[in-house]
A and B are shown apart, each in its own frame.
Chain A
């Protein structure tokens, strides 16, 4: 293979100029002629019967075109959801979470719509709500969806929406024989994605169907859900995904789009629903979790068994939660050799905001427990936390989750590298400590990505993909791959993203999959173009045999020297008379015997280490250094890959030290909004160091794996163990706010002054 020109280089982002000049148009910046503005009235209570809604004041305002509540919708009220279609367009009869949309005002301008919302009077009868796992599972707990369908098709007779069990070996036998068992409970809080772009969408009627412009991560999922909800054919629903101002999984599944689509079709006009940052808190969050875990170790610190019960607290509607809980449960033993395992993971409804995919897809919650157990074992057995992990890590090629892909990396090397980078073992001052942890995740098994590449008459290229750009850099990565394969300058490749009418089917932009899956599809589409070019060249007599085709510098080498692609097409098709189209596909291998439907394409693995200093008097944890080593196979764009690592680490820092959605007993969300839900600022960050391990051992183009989620997964246990190392307290609940650390210090008698 000739020298690589684009892949593996830190090519500047294709969209960077637009972003630094403010020229990029996000959905919220867009408008259409004749557009109606939609504003939502949200429920004031978590669970309440809607007794009456007085809309007269709103309806009579000049400029208000329609006010809709559940009563004005077709009956039964249309519902949507990517797995279980349980979420109504507007709350019907009873609200199920604080902030659930009850009504929408459609008006000619935004000010009028907002003013009209204030005119609507709702009479509620407040009902008891359940907001914790314990409350939701009480025998007398009010049911979120009585008579509704569970994930397995059974009827809901409790608040358990889905329950999954994975096991191998013989856990009960192993327990009987094991002398060293660590038995504990860990909790992971409710977290909000806190993307900066407020959620908005524009829907407009189109040819007996509807088109939707939205910052949706997965346009084909949105297409399917809207078609199903509104009774339309797929071909009658067009989704155009804009560039997303922060996804993190929170933009993966439909939220306000079905209502906008319905409103557009009903009124015959474009409808834009726009919201602000606060609304996001009433729209999506991450699953919370309580994990009860028993881990047995031998005298050398090797894991003998894992018995894991992971209860994930969902919100009021299913969204993608059963999928998250199932997938994460499957990896409930983390990255370690585990001879005997039993994992039961449950998804439990509550009267809180809908939870959905969030960076890591359930793994941060489980890894918090798994890695905390390793830290506990390290303390109990007096084995260094680095050493105990090394003893349990599988070697390359080893199967550690039965039935799934063997270990595909040099994981011990990665762990040692993360340790070295944080100065593991170096002398340290008092109140300073270090910790290390391992994060793991897998992409979507048996998934599909298709791509189309068009070589235009002048030799320029467009690549159409269903993948969306949310800052992760997919647009640039695909351009690099195409440029590399086609031997064309990367500036001449235009990547068109997220339009279901233009791009062929892609499952989703999620799961750290796109470089591998869509990258492979793009490669194949470009290779298809080269094959066609070769055939054309042979037919024109430019070359003798297609096998002899040589491509370089956007030319094919013929008998009389190099001919540009454009010139070749002109000769073959006639002057400016056409283009050639290449198709490519990635199809992940299906395996019906596998609980998730297929093996993991690769393991997304990170090694995170931290150094902290703890102020004993206040409990404040100052993270001095945060390190991440990522197993990436090959970074198509190293700059972008490192940027993803850094961002993921700080997002993880947020849930480790300061983030938590707080609900009161009645189900009211107390800290919706940036005032009281604090995320890290530029003043809160430690020194960040990252390292990419590139062994070219991934299944993706040029040996690539995926990246994006890993760095958020292991931050919490790394920092928590660093806190223990610093001041000797063990904390099992997140976030490690100063007050929580201070309480632990006082409880253990380690509080007070910092000096010696």
Chain B
């Protein structure tokens, strides 16, 4: 194991001073499911690992607020996946959380950590994009909030500046009754990474939203398709045109796990499945397309 030092601050202030302290190269530790292995293989070599779990301002709680749900930085994926209010109101979020890794991973990994790691295949990001979630950031210069769409910048890069950490993620309730769904394709049924992940949202006001993971440098919303589908997603011609927009917006690569062509094909299949599922959930029949 590479040598590093360790600190377990109890306040954000202490944490910031450590993060911006002289020696650093410091890495914040929440769930550790990415960090610890990255250190082992040399992908990350922090001089200092800072435990976040004892910081009193940080929380693992999932709080139901007036306007939406506030997910604390330390909230673990297994609790997010099982949270009744989140499941009812934001099924895509809980479904995506439930598909990450294994039970053991979900019992440590945090959603905040998942978005900070910013893998192109990060499962929670498309679901958060559907709901225009906000990422609440704290740093030595104060706090700021950033829409999730601006938070993830490029593979493994976020907009966090040196010394900043995610404090919480806020997911606002949609204006109208709605539901959503997350589907993904992987190489096996058990713990795996997404080859393609699709999150879909449908509301009783005929709004459809769509976001995809693992088919671009970051997850993204398919706004072009969404505006076409506003005209009637279940009309075959409108559906096809929208679907073509989704495929156009995707830039999948060929890698060890799948080829570009296969990913493009999967996008169509999963998009149909996700949208159909969301429509079914709000009580609209899926249609013949």
A–B direct touch, CB within 8 Å, in complex? yes
Q: What are 13 sample pairs from A and B whose C-beta atoms fall under 8 A apart?
A: A618-B185, A670-B256, A676-B256, A676-B257, A681-B189, A681-B191, A682-B190, A683-B188, A684-B188, A684-B189, A738-B187, A739-B262, A742-B262
- Shortest C-beta distance, B272 to chain A (Å), equals 9
Q: Is B67 engaged at the interface, CB distance under 8 Å to the other chain?
A: no
Q: Which B residues between 249 and 272 are near A, CB-CB below 8 angstroms?
A: 256-259, 262, 265-266, 269
Quick check: B266 and A671 within 8 Å, CB to CB?
A: no
Alpha-carbon separation in the docked complex, A118 to B40 (Å): 12
Residues in A whose Cβ lies below 8 Å from that of B2: 115, 118
Contact with B along A739-750 (1 / 0, CB 8 A): 100110000000
Residues in A whose Cβ lies below 8 Å from that of B14: none
Q: Which A residues between 676 and 720 are near B, CB-CB below 8 angstroms?
A: 676, 678, 680-684
- Shortest C-beta distance, A620 to chain B (Å), equals 8
Alpha-carbon separation in the docked complex, A490 to B274 (Å): 59
Alpha-carbon separation in the docked complex, A658 to B29 (Å): 34
Quick check: A684 and B190 within 8 Å, CB to CB?
A: yes
- Shortest C-beta distance, B159 to chain A (Å), equals 28
Quick check: B269 and A617 within 8 Å, CB to CB?
A: yes
Alpha-carbon separation in the docked complex, A682 to B188 (Å): 10
Given contacts A114-B1, A737-B187, contact A678 B192 (CB under 8 A): yes
Contact with A along B8-47 (1 / 0, CB 8 A): 0000000000000000000000000000000000100000
B-side residues, CB < 8 A to A, are: 1-3, 42, 185, 187-192, 256-259, 262, 265-266, 269
**Nearest chain A residue, comparing its CB with the CB of B259:** A739
Residues in B whose Cβ lies below 8 Å from that of A678: 187-188, 192
**Nearest chain B residue, comparing its CB with the CB of A664:** B256
Contact with B along A589-621 (1 / 0, CB 8 A): 000000000000000000000000000011010
- Shortest C-beta distance, A701 to chain B (Å), equals 39
Which of B3, B187, B192 has the most chain A CB atoms inside 10 A of its CB? B187
Residues in A whose Cβ lies below 8 Å from that of B187: 658, 678, 737-738
Q: Is A111 engaged at the interface, CB distance under 8 Å to the other chain?
A: yes
Interface pairs A-B: 10 shortest CB-CB: A681-B190, A683-B189, A683-B190, A739-B262, A617-B269, A684-B189, A684-B188, A678-B188, A678-B187, A684-B190
Alpha-carbon separation in the docked complex, A115 to B256 (Å): 30
Size of interface on A: residues with Cβ below 8 Å to B = 23
Quick check: A662 and B192 within 8 Å, CB to CB?
A: no
Contact with B along A90-132 (1 / 0, CB 8 A): 0000000000000000000001001100100000000000000
- Shortest C-beta distance, B119 to chain A (Å), equals 12
- Shortest C-beta distance, B182 to chain A (Å), equals 17
Residues in B whose Cβ lies below 8 Å from that of A118: 2, 42
Alpha-carbon separation in the docked complex, A682 to B257 (Å): 21
Residues in B whose Cβ lies below 8 Å from that of A743: 262
Residues in B whose Cβ lies below 8 Å from that of A684: 188-190
Alpha-carbon separation in the docked complex, A115 to B185 (Å): 39
User: A671 touches which one: B3, B191, B256 (CB < 8 A)?
Assistant: B256
Alpha-carbon separation in the docked complex, A44 to B187 (Å): 28
Given contacts A115-B3, A739-B262, contact A680 B188 (CB under 8 A): yes
A-side residues, CB < 8 A to B, are: 111, 114-115, 118, 617-618, 620, 658, 662, 670-671, 676, 678, 680-684, 737-739, 742-743
Quick check: B258 and A739 within 8 Å, CB to CB?
A: yes
Alpha-carbon separation in the docked complex, A678 to B256 (Å): 12
**Nearest chain A residue, comparing its CB with the CB of B193:** A675
- Shortest C-beta distance, A435 to chain B (Å), equals 21
Residues in A whose Cβ lies below 8 Å from that of B257: 676
Alpha-carbon separation in the docked complex, A681 to B257 (Å): 17
Residues in A whose Cβ lies below 8 Å from that of B191: 681
- Shortest C-beta distance, A268 to chain B (Å), equals 29
Residues in B whose Cβ lies below 8 Å from that of A618: 185, 265-266, 269
Residues in A whose Cβ lies below 8 Å from that of B269: 617-618
- Shortest C-beta distance, A483 to chain B (Å), equals 40
- Shortest C-beta distance, A348 to chain B (Å), equals 25
- Shortest C-beta distance, B236 to chain A (Å), equals 13
**Nearest chain B residue, comparing its CB with the CB of A674:** B191
Given contacts A114-B1, A617-B269, A618-B269, contact A681 B256 (CB under 8 A): no
- Shortest C-beta distance, A733 to chain B (Å), equals 15
Quick check: A662 and B188 within 8 Å, CB to CB?
A: no
Residues in B whose Cβ lies below 8 Å from that of A620: 185
Residues in A whose Cβ lies below 8 Å from that of B262: 738-739, 742-743
Alpha-carbon separation in the docked complex, A684 to B191 (Å): 10
Residues in B whose Cβ lies below 8 Å from that of A739: 258-259, 262
Quick check: A111 and B188 within 8 Å, CB to CB?
A: no
Given contacts A662-B256, A676-B256, A676-B257, contact A681 B266 (CB under 8 A): no
Residues in A whose Cβ lies below 8 Å from that of B265: 617-618, 742
**Nearest chain A residue, comparing its CB with the CB of B266:** A618
Given contacts A676-B257, A739-B262, contact A681 B3 (CB under 8 A): no
**Nearest chain B residue, comparing its CB with the CB of A617:** B269
Residues in A whose Cβ lies below 8 Å from that of B266: 618
- Shortest C-beta distance, B57 to chain A (Å), equals 34
- Shortest C-beta distance, B212 to chain A (Å), equals 16
Residues in A whose Cβ lies below 8 Å from that of B185: 618, 620, 738
Alpha-carbon separation in the docked complex, A737 to B259 (Å): 12
Alpha-carbon separation in the docked complex, A658 to B189 (Å): 11
Which of B185, B188, B265, B266 has the most chain A CB atoms inside 10 A of its CB? B188
- Shortest C-beta distance, A498 to chain B (Å), equals 33
**Nearest chain B residue, comparing its CB with the CB of A680:** B188
Which of A111, A662, A737, A738 has the most chain B CB atoms inside 10 A of its CB? A738
- Shortest C-beta distance, B270 to chain A (Å), equals 9
Quick check: A681 and B1 within 8 Å, CB to CB?
A: no
Alpha-carbon separation in the docked complex, A114 to B39 (Å): 13
- Shortest C-beta distance, B233 to chain A (Å), equals 18
- Shortest C-beta distance, A617 to chain B (Å), equals 5
Alpha-carbon separation in the docked complex, A678 to B257 (Å): 10
- Shortest C-beta distance, B269 to chain A (Å), equals 5
**Nearest chain B residue, comparing its CB with the CB of A276:** B40
Alpha-carbon separation in the docked complex, A670 to B254 (Å): 14
Alpha-carbon separation in the docked complex, A390 to B183 (Å): 45
- Shortest C-beta distance, A526 to chain B (Å), equals 45
Alpha-carbon separation in the docked complex, A184 to B258 (Å): 27
- Shortest C-beta distance, B35 to chain A (Å), equals 16
Alpha-carbon separation in the docked complex, A739 to B260 (Å): 11
- Shortest C-beta distance, A674 to chain B (Å), equals 10
- Shortest C-beta distance, A288 to chain B (Å), equals 17
- Shortest C-beta distance, A715 to chain B (Å), equals 16
Alpha-carbon separation in the docked complex, A680 to B2 (Å): 32
User: B190 touches which one: A670, A680, A737 (CB < 8 A)?
Assistant: A680
- Shortest C-beta distance, B209 to chain A (Å), equals 23
Alpha-carbon separation in the docked complex, A662 to B190 (Å): 21
- Shortest C-beta distance, B54 to chain A (Å), equals 26
- Shortest C-beta distance, A681 to chain B (Å), equals 3
- Shortest C-beta distance, A737 to chain B (Å), equals 7
Residues in A whose Cβ lies below 8 Å from that of B3: 115
- Shortest C-beta distance, B264 to chain A (Å), equals 11
Quick check: B256 and A111 within 8 Å, CB to CB?
A: no
**Nearest chain B residue, comparing its CB with the CB of A619:** B262
**Nearest chain B residue, comparing its CB with the CB of A737:** B187
Residues in B whose Cβ lies below 8 Å from that of A671: 256
**Nearest chain A residue, comparing its CB with the CB of B41:** A278
Alpha-carbon separation in the docked complex, A739 to B264 (Å): 12
